[in-house]
């Protein structure tokens, strides 16, 4: 009986346990279902607020099915099956990030990259406490990084690359001690790099490049002992790299390009960073020599040190780099070893993966060696310009079948262009300008069907332009200027469909007429035919060149009238028809060219009224000199009444000129001044073209040692530039583009000096409008250099009475010219002071700094 009762109690206990388990599982199942339903409802709401491309990208998100079966949704494998992954990448979603995402509390991975999200990141993102991967890269997210993101302590990956985030890097972000990847590159972040970044001890990748970060690199970065990838490029970082950073032996990529970093690169950097694959130090202010230990890194792939202040020679060891893909040491002060020339490149024949080689902008000499053709067959980019290379181009260069770019410009290379260059059928850019190449342009260049840019300018090439150029179906830019080319312009040139940037055939001896087919160049921006022997009428079809901004056909023999169709070219900013034989009246349609900044119609046979509206209302931007039959409204008279007046005026003018010559001769002999040779004779009749890189080299990278003065709108540097084979001293006035008023000052000075020529005015040689090495706007004016500097200096030193008198006379003569003798209109200097009176080597005074001039 007792045994029976015991068994019954045991049965009851087991039954209760089973019931309890069943009820628990039922509760858990119901709870899990309820939680998953909440996730489902959240996702359905997000879908209702989202437009995707393609539109059916989320078609599987059906309210009647489990979200665990939906595309782009990942659920946990456990029984609770909560949503742990959401991938909405690459769907071109726009608008703000939906704040309801913060309700998916079990999310571990959130991928929103490659969309068009805008606005600020919702604060609800920081409620995702289990989140491990947060990727919103390649969007347009704005505002600051939420400091509360530090709550997401499980985060391993934070990728905010390529957005519009601003503000500083929050200190709270550095509390994410589990973080392995932090990518904040390509945003608008400012401030300094927080030293607490060294707390992220698990970090493998740190990318802060392409922002506006400033200050020094904190030494605490070196505490990241596991770091493999450090990217700080394109910021405003200053100072030296902390020595401890060079001891981060785990580093595989060290990139600090495009900052303001300085100091020597340690000679043993290759020994202390043995795992380095990427070494990117370009566009900084690093000094010293190239560390030879870099050439011991047998696995290194990329070495970039372009645009620094490195000197010396290239150290040995280039043959130890079998994995090398890029070697860029351009624009430094590196030279060849004595008698070696370019032979130091020979060991690179072992680098069979070499893709990019740049040694341009240095002081290398010698000839291009024949072994150049034995370099890697995968070599695509070869930059050797702006050196002192001489000799001829070896035919073996045709063996580099992989070349897409060949730049040998700004050297002293002579001889013919080898026909073998025509074998480089993959070539996209051929830049051989500013050399001493002779003979004809080879027809074989017509084989370069992929060519997008050809620059053979400033050589001594003769013959005609090859008709084989018609094969350049992808050509966007052609510059054959400043050669000795003759014959007519091949009509095939005007059938090139992709010619959209530049057609520059100026300063040759081309003849014939301009064909009607010029109208086919509907997308070309610049046509420059200056200084040739072209004749005939300007074709009316030119009005079809709707993208034209610069049309320069001066110093030819064009005749007939100015076509009315020029008034249809609404984008024109420069129109120069000067020094031709054009006749008739000035078309009134030119008044409609609102974008026009400079109009030169001088020295033609134009007649009638000069229009008064549009650009003609500002005479500083119009030159009509040398057209005796042109007149302005208030001065147009009948010929019969004024013939006698004209004769009288001519007679009086002749007497006045004779008197002026007599006075000038008197002062000349009294002062016994030997007139110096015009430093820049070669500029007569044309403007010398100068590039940013030429000015950078001329001023030693705008070094402080070259600085000779600072003004309210910029700095002035002394430089030396090679002009037509002769070294000339120049003064380069570089405008500070961050200073309010610098651009108007630049334009005012250009406008004031464009027509001014007088022995007592500082000669403006040329100007430069370009982009600097940081891809920012660069404006500079290039003047003749005044060896005796300013009058202000001499006043302090003391001057002889006779010198003071001579300076006073010079200043008076200069002012008299400005006020009474200018061709276009009187000029008022507006800023005359001793520091703006400059003295040449003979103490002849010259007025300078026309930034405040008014005309």
Which pair of structure tokens corresponds to residue 665?
């001769």
Cα separation, 831 vs 851, whole angstroms: 8
Options 831, 840, 842, 849, the catalytic residue: 831
140 secondary structure, DSSP code: -
Provide the β-strand partners of residue 709: 716
C-alpha 450/C-alpha 424 separation (Å) is 10
* Closest by CA position to 795, among listed 830, 843, 829, 761: 843
Alpha carbon distance 765, 761 (integer Å): 12
Maximum Cα–Cα distance for the chain, whole Å? 157
Residues 262 and 286 sit within 8 Å (Cβ to Cβ): yes
Q: Give the integer Cα–Cα distance in Å for 569 and 524.
A: 12
Rounded CA gap, 130 and 178, in Å?
Answer: 12
User: What 8-state DSSP symbol labels residue 586?
Assistant: P
Which residues neighbour 224 within 8 Å (Cβ) at sequence distance 6 or greater? 197, 198, 200, 201, 203, 206, 248
Calpha distance 719→728 (Å, rounded): 8
Strand order in the sheet with 214-215: 214-215, 236-240, 260-264, 285-287
**Among the listed residues 578, 582, 617, the one whose alpha carbon sits nearest the alpha carbon of residue 596:** 617
Measure the CA–CA gap between 427 and 417, rounded to whole angstroms. 15
Q: How far apart are CA 232 and CA 10, in angstroms?
A: 73
Q: Where are the beta strands (DSSP E) in 210-338?
A: 214-215, 229-231, 236-240, 253-255, 260-264, 278-280, 285-287, 302-304, 311-312, 326-328, 333-334
- Annotated catalytic residue 159: no
Q: Whole-angstrom Cα distance, residue 601 to residue 604?
A: 7
| Cβ–Cβ under 8 Å, residues 256 and 277 | no
In sequence order, what E strands does 724-763 have?
726-735
Q: CB under 8 Å to 528, separation ≥6 — which residues?
A: 481, 502, 503, 504, 505, 506, 550, 552
Q: What's the distance, CA 821 to chain centroid?
A: 41
Residue 733 annotated as binding site: yes
Q: What angle do CA 688, 691, 692 make, to 5 degrees?
A: 140
So which residues are the catalytic ones? 831
In the annotated binding site for ATP, the residues are 733
In the annotated binding site, the residues are 733
């Amino acid at each position: 009986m007792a045994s029976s009762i015991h068994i019954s109690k045991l049965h009851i206990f087991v039954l209760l346990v089973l019931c309890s388990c069943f009820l628990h599982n039922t509760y858990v199942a119901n709870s899990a279902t309820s939680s998953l339903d909440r996730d489902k409802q959240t996702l359905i709401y997000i879908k209702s607020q989202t437009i995707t491309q393609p539109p059916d990208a989320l078609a599987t998100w059906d309210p009647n099915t489990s979200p665990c079966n939906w595309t782009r949704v990942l659920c946990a494998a456990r029984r609770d099956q909560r949503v742990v992954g959401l991938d909405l990448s690459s769907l071109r979603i726009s608008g703000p990030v939906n704040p309801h995402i913060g309700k998916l509390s079990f999310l571990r991975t959130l991928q929103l990259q490659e969309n068009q999200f805008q606005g600020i990141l919702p604060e609800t993102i920081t409620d995702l406490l289990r989140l491990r991967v947060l990727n919103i890269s390649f969007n347009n997210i704005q505002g600051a990084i939420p400091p509360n993101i530090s709550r997401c302590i499980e985060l391993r990956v934070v990728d905010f690359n390529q957005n519009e985030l601003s503000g500083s890097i929050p200190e709270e972000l550095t509390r994410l001690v589990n973080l392995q990847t932090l990518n904040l590159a390509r945003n608008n972040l400012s401030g300094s790099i927080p030293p607490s970044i060294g707390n992220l001890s698990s970090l493998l990748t740190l990318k802060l490049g392409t922002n506006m970060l400033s200050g020094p690199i904190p030494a605490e970065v070196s505490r990241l002992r596991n770091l493999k990838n450090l990217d700080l490029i394109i910021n405003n970082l200053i100072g030296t790299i902390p020595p401890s950073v060079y001891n981060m032996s785990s580093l595989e990529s060290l990139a600090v390009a495009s900052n303001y970093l300085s100091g020597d690169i340690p000679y043993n950097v290759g020994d202390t960073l043995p795992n380095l694959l990427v070494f990117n130090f370009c566009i900084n202010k690093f000094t010293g020599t190239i560390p030879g230990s870099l050439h011991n890194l047998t696995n290194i792939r990329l070495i970039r040190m372009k645009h620094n202040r490195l000197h010396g020679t290239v150290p040995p060891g280039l043959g130890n780099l079998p994995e090398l893909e890029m070697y860029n040491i351009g624009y430094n002060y590196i030279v060849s070893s004595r008698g070696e020339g370019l032979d130091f490149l020979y060991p690179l024949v072992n680098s069979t993966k070499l893709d990019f080689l740049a040694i341009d902008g240095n002081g290398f000499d010698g000839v291009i060696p024949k072994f150049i053709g034995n370099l890697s067959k995968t070599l695509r980019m070869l930059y050797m310009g702006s050196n002192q290379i001489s000799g001829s181009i070896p035919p073996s260069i045709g063996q580099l079948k992989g070349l897409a770019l060949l730049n040998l410009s700004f050297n002293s290379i002579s001889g013919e262009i080898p026909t073998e260059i025509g074998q480089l059928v993959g070539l996209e850019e051929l830049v051989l300008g500013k050399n001493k190449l002779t003979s004809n342009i080879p027809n074989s260049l017509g084989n370069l069907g992929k060519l997008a840019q050809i620059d053979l300018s400033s050589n001594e090439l003769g013959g005609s332009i090859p008709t084989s150029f018609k094969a350049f179906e992808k050509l966007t830019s052609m510059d054959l200027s400043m050669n000795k080319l003759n014959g007519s312009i091949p009509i095939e040139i005007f059938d090139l469909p992709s010619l959209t940037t530049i057609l520059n055939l100026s300063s040759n001896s081309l003849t014939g007429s301009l064909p009607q087919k010029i109208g086919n160049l509907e997308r070309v921006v610049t046509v420059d035919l200056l200084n040739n022997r072209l004749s005939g009428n300007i074709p009316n079809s030119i009005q079809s060149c709707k993208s034209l901004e610069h049309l320069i056909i001066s110093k030819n023999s064009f005749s007939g009238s100015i076509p009315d169709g020029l008034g249809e070219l609404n984008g024109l900013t420069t129109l120069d028809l000067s020094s031709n034989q054009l006749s008739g009246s000035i078309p009134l349609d030119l008044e409609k060219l609102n974008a026009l900044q400079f109009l030169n119609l001088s020295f033609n046979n134009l007649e009638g009224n000069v229009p008064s509206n549009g650009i003609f209302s500002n005479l500083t931007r119009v030159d009509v000199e040398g057209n005796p039959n042109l007149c302005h409204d208030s001065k147009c008279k009948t010929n019969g009444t004024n013939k006698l007046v004209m004769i009288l005026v001519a007679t009086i003018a002749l007497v006045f000129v004779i008197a002026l010559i007599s006075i000038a001769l008197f002062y000349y002999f009294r002062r016994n001044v030997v007139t110096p040779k015009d430093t820049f004779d070669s500029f007569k009749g044309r403007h010398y073209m100068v590039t940013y890189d030429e000015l950078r080299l001329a001023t030693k990278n705008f070094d402080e040692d070259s600085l000779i003065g600072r003004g309210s709108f910029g700095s002035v540097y002394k430089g030396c530039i090679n002009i037509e084979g002769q070294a000339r001293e120049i003064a380069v006035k570089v405008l500070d583009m961050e200073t309010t008023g610098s651009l108007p000052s630049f334009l005012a000075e250009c406008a004031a000096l464009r027509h001014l020529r007088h022995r007592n005015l500082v000669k403006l040689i040329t100007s430069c409008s370009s982009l600097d090495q940081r891809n920012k706007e660069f404006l500079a004016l290039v003047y003749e250099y005044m060896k005796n500097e300013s009058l202000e200096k001499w006043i302090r030193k003391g001057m002889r009475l006779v010198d003071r008198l001579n300076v006073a006379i010079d200043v008076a003569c200069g002012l008299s010219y400005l006020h009474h003798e200018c061709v276009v209109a009187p000029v008022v200097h507006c800023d005359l002071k001793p520091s703006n009176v400059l003295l040449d080597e003979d103490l002849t005074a010259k007025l300078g700094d026309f930034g405040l001039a008014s005309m």
